[in-house]
Amino acid sequence: MGDKPIWEQIGSSFVQHYYQLFDADRTQLGAIYIDASCLTWEGQQFQGKAAIVEKLSSLPFQKIQHSITAQDHQPTPDSCILSMVVGQLKADDDQVLGFHQTFLLKNYQGAWVCTNEVFRLALHN
């Protein structure tokens, strides 16, 4: 009973893997998307593995480090996993910024992939 539910284990493993790849070499993130995947990045929409990887690879910083503050995972009625991440990031020599990121994970051909993703910096105007 002390074990986490399977969707939390899968979600936590995905989140750890995602940010390790993102921080080390974000050009390698293509493996977690499929051609039907969608990304909303600060309000901009991208669809498809190639468009998503192009966007993430072209972000205007050389190095980045994410620090996860909290993450929540839920099973969906159609056997997917909804994951929400709150944390901080530091890009190059910029100040530390808060962020929120949500992933919808689906088991596709025996692997968990990200079908939907939304990212926002936690900025208040």
Q: Which candidate, 115, 95, 118, 94, places its Cα nearest to that of 33?
A: 115
The residues pairing with 114 across neighbouring beta strands, listed in sequence order, are: 33, 105
Q: What is the pLDDT of residue 124?
A: 72
Confidence of residue 3 (pLDDT cuts 50, 70, 90): confident
Tens digits of per-residue pLDDT, 67-87?
999 999 999 999 999 999 999
What's the mean pLDDT when you consider all of the chain?
A: 95
Interatomic CA distance for residues 122 and 23, integer angstroms: 19
| pLDDT over 90 (residue 65) | yes
| pLDDT over 80 (residue 1) | no
| pLDDT over 90 (residue 16) | yes
For the chain, list the domains and their CATH numbers: 4-119 (3.10.450.50)
Tens digits of per-residue pLDDT, 90-100?
999 999 999 99
